[in-house]
Amino acid sequence: MNDGENMATFDETNDNGVVAAVKDYMRLLEDGKAPSVEDFLAGHANIEEELRPALEGLAMLHGAGSPSEPSTTAVGPDAEFTAKPIGDFQIVGELGRGGMGVVYEAVQLSLGRKVALKVLPFASGLDEVRLQRFRNEAHAAAALHHTNIVPVYAVGSDRGVHYYAMQMIEGRTLADVINEMRQENKQGKSNDTRPMRDTVGAATTRSNNTTSMGTSMGRRRYYESAVRMAHEAAIAIEHAHQYGVIHRDIKPGNLLIDGAGKVWVTDFGLAHIESDTNNLTRTGDPMGTLRYASPEQASGNRMILDHRTDVYSFGVTLYELLTLRPAIEGEGFRELLNAVIEVDPPSPMSIAPDLPAELDTIVRKAIAKQPSERYATMKALADDLQCWLDDKPIQAKPPTALERLAKWRRRNSGLVAAAFGMLLIASVALLVTALLVWGEQRQTQLALDRETQQRELAEESFRQARAAVDAFSELSESELAYRAGLQDLRRTFLETSLSFYRDFLELRADDPALKSE
């Protein structure tokens, strides 16, 4: 089949009860009571022609609708599934399952080559949203041509079954490699003679030869090999970004490593094409693997995601590749979600003390919670990885004390808010207390001022009274002392003056100046 083959949905045949008949047959299949296709068609003779392709496809993919654990080795499919090719492709075995479809090993009949055939379960084809996402995945991957992106050969549908064919990559996922290395290190096995890339290349036939990190030489070789592989993947993701495609599901399980140790980026099932304006590309849906989702993707804040979400997911993947431990850990969904959004992972060097400081800085910058604090592009990240490989200074810098404080404030926003509230209350209380004290002091000062004023008035009155008495005494001495007829009057003035002086002494007994006078 050609790439441009019809991708029409089954909903377009929604007349004369076809969809209702298909759903009835689906329920019978799920209950294990489905008759043969021919028997079921006998009861719907009026729509047999339209219904037959749909029922054949549904019966063929009945097993693809239910989830199961992914398998890395091909397993035999149902006999009915292999009875007829899907378009130009003959199914050989099942490779794995995921939320967006089932991947089969198949043979392209016209060219006789092996391919990986991704098929959308028929039931999902009745859901326009899932069908559109499947189309997005196929078209996004088909539009990209890069040596580290799994190429798409064909896109089409047959008997109501939607599919697309990709290059068959003989190898394993990076998740498989990390898990195997984790087990090797737990068991204390060591093989420092070869770098990781060579070991991974031989892993398809010799699963025990995984490079350990047991010695300093082995660890250095491991880091170098891991960074080279990460650099290849980063360049491939940057290529996708240049064409307006955001992957949105970067994780170890979506990075394949072939027998030669080459990295392949695959599974564009959640890809966002920037030219696409429909709501399928917005956040708010539980999309991707939460452990590797960016904070903005996990929070569902309805903002349009940009390419920096891939920078974060790639950084989390690199973190796990270098330390053999997930960056985000949690027991349940809520704990995991909170860790993605709120909790900064431990620094890689705290887990792997021998990790070069430059790689620690690169990873920490890539997994910053705020998109503005990450690498602006995947190319910038790839450039820093290459600088480390070339023993050149990297552009990323460790966070300053102020930046660490800002991150701490964001991580502990509740505590900061509570502390700020307490500080505000304490400040208000202090202000009120200060105002009360100031008011009391002002009242006291006013009272003191009034008392001082009254005392000054009293002093002035005393001085005036004393001046008057002194004046009378002087007058009696100067004017009346030598006049015989006025002696009685003189005596009266002097006695009155003496009485005033005695009263002054009693009132001002504590005034030493008055006593001396």
Q: Is 160 left (phi over 0), alpha (psi -120 to 50) or beta?
A: left
What does each C-alpha distance from 170 to 42, 157, 296, 449, 483 come to in angstroms? 45, 25, 34, 100, 150
Residue 517 to residue 513: CA distance in whole angstroms:
6
Are 26 and 32 in contact, with CB atoms under 8 Å apart? Answer: no
Q: List, as residue ranges, the binding site.
A: 118
Q: What is the SS3 assignment for 463? A: helix
What does each C-alpha distance from 460 to 364, 440, 463, 466, 506 come to in angstroms? 84, 30, 5, 10, 18
Q: Residue 361 is which amino acid?
A: T
Alpha helices in 354-412 (DSSP H): 357-366, 378-389, 401-411
Query: What is the helix (H) or strand (E) element at residue 461, kind and residue range?
Result: helix 413-479
For strands 255-258 and 161-167, give the pairing: unpaired
What does each C-alpha distance from 410 to 330, 406, 445, 458 come to in angstroms? 20, 6, 50, 69
For strands 171-173 and 245-246, give the pairing: unpaired
Query: Which residues does residue 256 pair with via DSSP β-bridges, in sequence order?
Result: 173, 264
Q: What are phi and psi of 330, to 5 degrees?
A: 180, 155
Q: List, as residue ranges, the binding site for ATP.
A: 118
Annotated catalytic residue, options 176, 249, 310, 383: 249
Six token digits for residue 125: 């084809």
Query: What is the helix (H) or strand (E) element at residue 171, kind and residue range?
Result: strand 171-173
Are 122 and 57 in contact, with CB atoms under 8 Å apart? Answer: yes
Residue 48 contacts by C-beta under 8 Å, 6 or more apart in sequence?
Answer: 41
Catalytic annotation present for 354: no
By C-alpha distance, which of 238, 252, 250, 337 is closest to 288? 250
Residue 500: CB atoms within 10 Å: 17
Residue 160 to residue 62: CA distance in whole angstroms:
13
Residue 269 contacts by C-beta under 8 Å, 6 or more apart in sequence?
Answer: 98, 99, 100, 101, 133, 134, 137, 249
Q: What are phi and psi of 202, to 5 degrees?
A: -90, -5
Q: Residue 459 is which amino acid?
A: E
Six token digits for residue 204: 């398809």
Residues annotated as catalytic (active site), given as ranges: 249
